[in-house]
Amino acid sequence: MAIQVCNGATLQCTFGAAPGTMIVTPENRVTASNQPAATILDNIPMKNITPFGVCTSLANPQVAAATAAALGVLTPQPCIPVIPAPWAPGSPKVLINKKPALNNTSKLMCAWAGVISVVNPGQVKVMIP
Protein backbone atom coordinates (compact mmCIF):
# COMPACT_ATOMS: atom_id res chain seq x y z
CA MET A 1 0.00 0.00 0.00
CA ALA A 2 1.11 3.52 -0.75
CA ILE A 3 0.81 6.66 1.35
CA GLN A 4 -1.69 9.44 0.49
CA VAL A 5 0.05 12.69 -0.57
CA CYS A 6 -1.28 15.87 0.99
CA ASN A 7 -0.60 19.58 1.26
CA GLY A 8 2.97 20.31 2.33
CA ALA A 9 4.50 17.20 0.72
CA THR A 10 8.13 17.50 -0.36
CA LEU A 11 8.86 16.96 -4.05
CA GLN A 12 12.10 16.59 -6.03
CA CYS A 13 12.88 16.94 -9.74
CA THR A 14 15.76 15.01 -11.28
CA PHE A 15 17.08 18.25 -12.84
CA GLY A 16 16.23 20.58 -9.95
CA ALA A 17 18.76 21.81 -7.43
CA ALA A 18 16.39 22.11 -4.47
CA PRO A 19 13.24 20.36 -3.24
CA GLY A 20 9.83 21.78 -4.02
CA THR A 21 6.56 21.71 -2.13
CA MET A 22 3.12 20.34 -2.99
CA ILE A 23 0.38 22.89 -2.45
CA VAL A 24 -3.10 21.39 -2.39
CA THR A 25 -5.92 23.88 -2.44
CA PRO A 26 -8.89 22.97 -0.24
CA GLU A 27 -11.48 22.54 -3.02
CA ASN A 28 -11.19 18.74 -2.73
CA ARG A 29 -12.59 18.94 0.83
CA VAL A 30 -10.93 15.65 1.76
CA THR A 31 -8.20 15.67 4.34
CA ALA A 32 -5.34 13.40 5.29
CA SER A 33 -3.99 14.17 8.76
CA ASN A 34 -5.70 17.60 8.79
CA GLN A 35 -4.25 18.65 5.41
CA PRO A 36 -6.03 18.75 2.02
CA ALA A 37 -5.49 15.47 0.13
CA ALA A 38 -3.96 15.59 -3.37
CA THR A 39 -5.23 14.08 -6.62
CA ILE A 40 -3.40 13.33 -9.86
CA LEU A 41 -4.70 16.64 -11.24
CA ASP A 42 -2.84 18.68 -8.61
CA ASN A 43 -0.09 19.26 -11.16
CA ILE A 44 -0.24 22.97 -11.99
CA PRO A 45 3.11 24.79 -11.69
CA MET A 46 3.12 27.67 -9.19
CA LYS A 47 -0.36 26.67 -7.95
CA ASN A 48 0.38 23.07 -6.87
CA ILE A 49 4.07 22.57 -7.70
CA THR A 50 6.64 25.07 -6.46
CA PRO A 51 9.92 25.57 -8.42
CA PHE A 52 12.97 23.41 -7.69
CA GLY A 53 15.57 26.16 -7.38
CA VAL A 54 17.54 26.09 -10.63
CA CYS A 55 17.17 23.73 -13.60
CA THR A 56 20.14 21.89 -15.12
CA SER A 57 18.37 20.23 -18.06
CA LEU A 58 19.66 21.14 -21.51
CA ALA A 59 16.14 20.38 -22.79
CA ASN A 60 15.10 23.63 -21.05
CA PRO A 61 15.54 26.42 -23.64
CA GLN A 62 16.74 28.90 -20.99
CA VAL A 63 19.46 26.49 -19.79
CA ALA A 64 20.47 25.66 -23.37
CA ALA A 65 20.77 29.34 -24.33
CA ALA A 66 22.74 30.26 -21.20
CA THR A 67 25.03 27.24 -21.70
CA ALA A 68 25.64 28.17 -25.35
CA ALA A 69 26.42 31.76 -24.32
CA ALA A 70 28.93 30.38 -21.78
CA LEU A 71 30.71 28.44 -24.58
CA GLY A 72 29.36 25.06 -23.49
CA VAL A 73 29.76 25.40 -19.74
CA LEU A 74 26.52 24.19 -18.13
CA THR A 75 24.75 27.26 -16.79
CA PRO A 76 21.69 26.43 -14.66
CA GLN A 77 18.72 28.78 -14.88
CA PRO A 78 15.70 29.40 -12.61
CA CYS A 79 13.32 26.46 -12.53
CA ILE A 80 9.92 27.05 -14.07
CA PRO A 81 8.30 23.60 -14.44
CA VAL A 82 6.25 22.88 -17.55
CA ILE A 83 3.85 20.05 -16.82
CA PRO A 84 2.02 18.61 -19.86
CA ALA A 85 0.13 15.77 -18.13
CA PRO A 86 -1.22 14.66 -14.72
CA TRP A 87 0.65 12.62 -12.14
CA ALA A 88 0.82 8.91 -12.97
CA PRO A 89 -0.34 6.39 -12.03
CA GLY A 90 -2.33 7.58 -8.99
CA SER A 91 -4.54 5.34 -6.91
CA PRO A 92 -6.70 2.96 -8.98
CA LYS A 93 -9.23 2.49 -6.16
CA VAL A 94 -9.42 5.76 -4.20
CA LEU A 95 -11.17 8.72 -5.83
CA ILE A 96 -11.43 12.29 -4.55
CA ASN A 97 -14.16 14.23 -6.37
CA LYS A 98 -14.06 11.57 -9.13
CA LYS A 99 -10.29 12.00 -9.59
CA PRO A 100 -7.69 9.37 -8.58
CA ALA A 101 -5.94 10.14 -5.31
CA LEU A 102 -2.23 10.91 -5.45
CA ASN A 103 0.10 8.51 -3.66
CA ASN A 104 3.79 8.65 -2.84
CA THR A 105 4.78 6.32 -5.70
CA SER A 106 3.31 8.52 -8.45
CA LYS A 107 5.59 10.44 -10.83
CA LEU A 108 5.13 13.68 -12.76
CA MET A 109 6.96 14.47 -15.99
CA CYS A 110 8.30 17.94 -16.80
CA ALA A 111 8.51 19.00 -20.46
CA TRP A 112 12.21 19.75 -19.87
CA ALA A 113 12.91 16.01 -19.29
CA GLY A 114 12.76 16.05 -15.50
CA VAL A 115 10.94 13.42 -13.45
CA ILE A 116 9.25 14.80 -10.34
CA SER A 117 8.76 12.41 -7.45
CA VAL A 118 7.43 12.57 -3.90
CA VAL A 119 10.19 12.61 -1.27
CA ASN A 120 7.91 13.06 1.75
CA PRO A 121 4.12 12.69 1.33
CA GLY A 122 3.30 15.26 4.03
CA GLN A 123 1.75 12.69 6.38
CA VAL A 124 2.21 9.01 7.25
CA LYS A 125 -1.11 7.89 8.70
CA VAL A 126 -3.36 7.49 5.65
CA MET A 127 -2.53 4.52 3.43
CA ILE A 128 -4.24 3.98 0.07
CA PRO A 129 -4.20 1.09 -2.43
Residue 129 lies in a domain: no
Tell me how far CA of residue 20 lies from CA of 25, 30, 65, 92, 118, in angstroms.
Answer: 16, 22, 24, 26, 10
Residue 32 lies in a domain: yes
Tell me how far CA of residue 116 lies from CA of 69, 74, 105, 120, in angstroms.
Answer: 28, 21, 11, 12
pLDDT on residue 128:
87
Residue 105 lies in a domain: yes
User: Does 45 have pLDDT greater than 80?
Assistant: yes
Residue 126 lies in a domain: no
Between CA 49 and CA 11 the distance in angstroms is 8
Residue 46 lies in a domain: yes
Residue 128 lies in a domain: no
User: Does 28 have pLDDT greater than 80?
Assistant: no
Between CA 105 and CA 31 the distance in angstroms is 19
Residue 24 lies in a domain: yes
Asked if residues 48 and 23 have their Cβ atoms less than 8 Å apart, the reply is: yes
Q: Number of structural domains, the chain? A: 1
Q: What are 60-86's pLDDT values in tens digits?
A: 999 999 999 999 999 999 999 999 999
Asked if residues 20 and 120 have their Cβ atoms less than 8 Å apart, the reply is: no
| Average pLDDT score, the chain | 94
pLDDT on residue 33:
73
pTM reported for the whole predicted model: 0.93
State the residue range of the domain holding 49. Answer: 1-121
